[in-house]
Structure 1
Amino acid sequence: MRIDAHHHLWDLSAVHYPWLMAQGVERFFGDPTPIQRNYLLEEFSGDARQHGISGSVHIQVGAENPLQEALWVQEVAEANPHWPLVQVAFCDLTSDTLARDLDRLQNLSTLRGVRQIVGRAPDEDAVTSTNALLENSRFLAGLKEIAGRGLRFDLQLIPELMEDTAHVLAQASDLQVALCHAGSPHDRSVKGLEAWANELKLLSALPNVSCKLSGLGMFDHQWTQQSIAPIVQTCLTQFGQDRVMFGSNFPVDSLYSNYTTLFAAMETLVPNDWHAAVFGDNAARFYELKA
């Protein structure tokens, strides 16, 4: 079973996404105007099926009402039993109502984990202050709480935060963590990638951390197979065959390429004898996703 381990869906009549619908706002990933439309399972699965993918993991994507988004994804999954779909929902791990919030989310059969973004991009992080989570003892307590509940954590951050994050995660060694977007290497110069690779070692050294080959176009809008090859190779080398997963990050990454181009590049860069693991088995095991 091939799995896309990182994608989004949205029905703009059902759930509101302030970041997506903002007008005249240029983000680190580009201009969202082309994706300010419904992106539903039918369209996504139609593209993914062409490459043998038959199940997927939906990742929360900044809904104004995160619970509403999670409930909508549950409805989508129930309405499409032919397409195995599980989800990673948003939850504020520092909230006073954390236990109640998690109880509510765990009523959803599709729930597999939580994502609370630690870092997006240097300029934006300076405004949002999400980096401060790493200094918050309640964040660590929240990570331990979800680990105790058998949930996973999807980690999105930038390389500059990897050292502090590794220190936090070392204190929650029972927590299974998926590193989104290869750790967002935003500086694609030779020196920038060298610095990212060195910082990445602090996370890849933790046996409970896996890595997603996803979202590589967000900081390289004209990416090519050649330009992302060093990133893919570094991830494969550091995390090994059993801790790497493919994710399309569609429809965000549809701003830079179509699904076929993206998948073909990844399929070429990943060794043939690793395909079963990277394009399916690892995600199926990590997210407990069954055909």
Structure 2
Amino acid sequence: MRLDAHQHFWKFDPVRDAWIDETMEVIRKDFLPTDLEPILQKNNIDGCIAVQADQSETETAFLLDIARNHNFVKGVVGWVDLLADNVEDRLAHFSSNNKLKGIRHIVQAEPNDFMLRSDFQNGISKLSQFDLTYDILVFPRQLPAAIKLAEKFPDQAFVLDHIAKPAISSGMDREWQSDIKELATCENVYCKVSGLVTETKDFQWRAEEFTPFLDVVFDSFGADRLLYGSDWPVCLLSSPYETVLKIIEDYVPKEHHTKIFYQNTVNFYKLDENL
């Protein structure tokens, strides 16, 4: 069995999806389960986790509806307003659907100290009672706040998306490296090996450019806390699904493939073992 721990679906809306500008023509269209399922089958991937791309409850309902109708979507990371006074009620509402596995906020678009806000942390404090994880989507400059967040909530399960999006083409960022190592000392934090190809200059790269960054996350988190994610369809800005998958397949030692391509995703998102 193999799983993809990070991908997206959307019905393209030029207003709502304004982040997909004219330079991203290849993804300025709908991406739905009928588009992804044959790609997963071709690459021997048995299921996936659908992650929010829009910050609305409509998005969460959309993804949960997809998961209900397509068995290969094993779980959903949705969105609720973690800053809201009624956050507990909204979490209760959506977590009644057992396909909701976690919550994400697009923190990369927020100030560096956003995760230190008391209202945000109040929202984070409510997740564990619903057995929900939290996906950390940040840039390297926001890693210090992520470290403080993970330390403050040691019983909350966190996963870092896209290895915190370092600028791959600029070479190793020693501050990023140090922060990743510190974040990984929090045993409640996992890391998705995802989003690498789109953190390159003009979406052009050579495979060896990724190796130092993969070395850092592998050495820091170890084989038990890394999850493979394609970031499809965003990855298409740079590379087809097969290429993204091969980068990680080639890097990860064979003896760790089951963990990184399957078991760690099952463990982190508490998926049904009878997939």
1:217 pairs with 2:187? no
Partner Cα separation in structure 2 for residue 71 and residue 118 of structure 1: 21
Partner Cα separation in structure 1 for residue 155 and residue 14 of structure 2: 33
Give structure 1 stretches of 5+ with no counterpart.
120-124
1:181 pairs with 2:178? no
| Residue from 184, 194, 211 that aligns with 1:229 | 211
Structure 1 range deviating more: 219-228 or 272-281: 219-228
Tell me if structure 2 keeps the 8 A contact 1:87–1:112.
Answer: yes
Q: Residue 2 of structure 1 corresponds to which residue in structure 2?
A: 2
| Residue from 267, 270, 273 that aligns with 2:255 | 273
Q: Secondary structure at the match of 2:114?
A: helix
1:70 pairs with 2:60? yes
The CA RMSD measured in Å over matched residues stands at 1.9
Matched to 2:32, the amino acid is L
Partner Cα separation in structure 2 for residue 59 and residue 91 of structure 1: 13
Listed as ranges, the matches of 1:82-97 within 5 Å are: 83-97=72-86
Q: Secondary structure at the match of 2:199?
A: coil
Give structure 2 stretches of 5+ with no counterpart.
none
| Residue from 101, 105, 112 that aligns with 1:116 | 105
The normalised TM-score by structure 1 is 0.87
1:162 pairs with 2:147? no
Partner Cα separation in structure 1 for residue 212 and residue 16 of structure 2: 31
Q: Residue 230 of structure 2 corresponds to which residue in structure 1?
A: 248
Matched to 2:86, the amino acid is T
Tell me if structure 2 keeps the 8 A contact 1:10–1:38.
Answer: yes
1:33 pairs with 2:25? yes
**1:21-72 CA-partner distances (Å, limit 9, x unpaired):** 568x47xxxx232211111112212112222211110110025xx2222222
Shift of 1:114: 0.4
Tell me if structure 2 keeps the 8 A contact 1:74–1:110.
Answer: yes
Identity %: 26
Tell me if structure 2 keeps the 8 A contact 1:54–1:84.
Answer: no
Q: Residue 128 of structure 2 corresponds to which residue in structure 1?
A: 147
1:20 pairs with 2:17? yes
Give the number of equivalent residue pairs: 271
Tell me if structure 2 keeps the 8 A contact 1:157–1:183.
Answer: yes
Shift of 1:95: 1.0
Change (3 A) 1:48 1:102: same
Tell me if structure 2 keeps the 8 A contact 1:71–1:108.
Answer: no
Tell me if structure 2 keeps the 8 A contact 1:140–1:172.
Answer: no
Tell me if structure 2 keeps the 8 A contact 1:162–1:202.
Answer: no
Tell me if structure 2 keeps the 8 A contact 1:67–1:105.
Answer: no
Change (3 A) 1:240 1:43: same
Matched to 1:213, the amino acid is V
Query: Greater RCO between the two (CA within 8 Å, min separation 6)?
Result: 1
Partner Cα separation in structure 2 for residue 19 and residue 218 of structure 1: 21
Tell me if structure 1 keeps the 8 A contact 2:158–2:189.
Answer: yes
Tell me if structure 1 keeps the 8 A contact 2:197–2:235.
Answer: yes
Partner Cα separation in structure 2 for residue 52 and residue 149 of structure 1: 32
Q: Residue 122 of structure 1 corresponds to which residue in structure 2?
A: none
